[in-house]
Amino acid sequence: MKGWTEFRGTSLLRAPVRRASGVAIGLAALLACLALLGAVAAGRGASGWTAGVARELTIVVRPRVDETGPTAAARAAEAAAGVEGVTEARALDRAEAEELLRPWVREADLADLPLPMLVVARLDPETPAGPLTLNRALAEAGLDAEVDDAGPWRAEAARAAVGVRALAIALALAALGALAALAWARAASAVVAMRHDLAVLQGLGAGPGRLRGLTLRAVLPFVAAAAAGGAAGGVALGALWKLLASGGQAASALPLAWGDLLLAPAAVAVAVLAAALSTARVLREVLGGPSAHG
């Protein structure tokens, strides 16, 4: 069309643009984008808390009659710290112990209750010390102390983390799948709506490559723009979450990194790819056989 000023700014093919279609693709892209960000954040959160659980052991210390609780706890921390596979051991004060027990006792007043002395041992992630090794070392130090064996609970937590990750990924894939299906359907109906003009151009000698190019140029910008709008909304909500939830419990449950927001274009890419594949397929069907000119 080079040099033909009469065709400048004119598309030989124009997809019928319906606002409802654009809104639907935009909403699907927004949901897909949020699901994608949620999956990444949930995966990171699950990894964080399973790693945290695996990295720590709690030691319950019972003071002997001739020593105070803090003294016994300090000795236990010292003994535990000397064990290979323990990077750090620290005796908890009463406030910290109450905080640790709070999930189990909820609103109960702990001020008058005798609480055990607790020591938290941070383990080497590469070669973590086991409960048996620690118990032996504590006994050798003459302490009446015992490692709280949370092994079964840790395994359960790890399984739960795998479940959370799998669920989040499944939700993200389902949202992306719904977006792809919607983009596919809208692109297909746009091509069908253009079949008269396509038949005219075909009858005038436009080849398959030319028709494919014209059709893609008519359909994809609309799909891309709608999906980009939705993805931009997803980025904005992700950024809002990052800013507002920063440092809170919500942020630690779904820790989002700024870099995660770069995943948003994936939703646009999925929509555009689905629309392109749909366009090519339906175009083959529409132009499959020669049709009456007009």
Partner 1 sequence: MPTTHARRAPPAASATVARLSGVRVKGAARRGILDLTMPRGSFHFLTGPSGAGKSRALETLALLRKPDEGCAVELFGIDPWAGDESGRAALRRRIGFAGRHDGLVDRLTTFQNAALPLALAGAPAEGRAHVVEMLDWLGLAPVAARAAGTLDRARRRALCVARALVAQPELILIDDPMDDLTPEVADRVLGLLSALGKGEAAVVMTGRDPAAARKAGATVLTLDGAG
Binding-residue pattern over the window 74 to 93 for partner 1, x denoting contact by CB under 8 A: --------------------
Q: How many residues bind partner 1 (CB under 8 A)?
A: 30
C-beta of residue 147 within 8 angstroms of C-beta of residue 135: yes
- Interacting residue with partner 1 among 103, 114, 152, 209 (CB under 8 A): 209
Q: State in angstroms the smallest separation of the CB of 216 from partner 1.
A: 17
Q: Does 12 bind partner 1 (CB under 8 A)?
A: yes
- List all residues 6 or more positions away from 71 whose beta carbon is below 8 Å from its beta carbon: 63
Q: Of 72 and 214, which CB lies nearer to partner 1 in the complex structure? A: 214
- List all residues 6 or more positions away from 67 whose beta carbon is below 8 Å from its beta carbon: 75
Cα–Cα distance for residue pair 135/59, rounded to 1 Å: 9
Q: Does 280 bind partner 1 (CB under 8 A)?
A: no
Binders of partner 1 among 92-121, rule CB under 8 A? none
Cα–Cα distance for residue pair 199/203, rounded to 1 Å: 6
Q: Does 197 bind partner 1 (CB under 8 A)?
A: yes
- Interacting residue with partner 1 among 93, 210, 239, 257 (CB under 8 A): 210
Give all strands of the β-sheet with 86-91 in edge-to-edge order.
86-91, 117-123, 56-61, 145-147
Q: Of 204 and 243, which CB lies nearer to partner 1 in the complex structure? A: 204
Residue 56 token pair: 């720590």
Count other C-beta atoms under 10 Å from residue 246's C-beta: 11
Burial of 66 per CB tally in 10 Å (0-12, 13-18, 19+) = exposed
- Interacting residue with partner 1 among 144, 208, 239, 246 (CB under 8 A): 208
Half-sphere exposure in the Cβ direction for 142 (13 Å, CA): 7
Q: State in angstroms the smallest separation of the CB of 273 from partner 1.
A: 25
Q: Does 285 bind partner 1 (CB under 8 A)?
A: no
**In the block, residue with structure tokens 């909500």:** 237
Q: State in angstroms the smallest separation of the CB of 290 from partner 1.
A: 5
**In the block, residue with structure tokens 């070669």:** 127
Q: Does 9 bind partner 1 (CB under 8 A)?
A: no
- Interacting residue with partner 1 among 32, 206, 223, 268 (CB under 8 A): 206
Q: Does 6 bind partner 1 (CB under 8 A)?
A: yes
Alpha-helix runs per DSSP H in the chain: 19-55, 69-81, 94-105, 131-140, 151-193, 195-203, 208-244, 249-253, 264-286
Residue range at the interface with partner 1 (CB under 8 A); choices 36-44, 50-58, 195-203, 248-256: 195-203
Q: Does 204 bind partner 1 (CB under 8 A)?
A: yes
Q: Which residues pair with 59 in a beta bridge?
A: 119, 147
- Interacting residue with partner 1 among 14, 90, 94, 154 (CB under 8 A): 14
- Interacting residue with partner 1 among 27, 110, 173, 200 (CB under 8 A): 200
Binding footprint of partner 1 on the chain (CB under 8 A): 1-7, 10, 12, 14, 197, 199-210, 287, 289-294
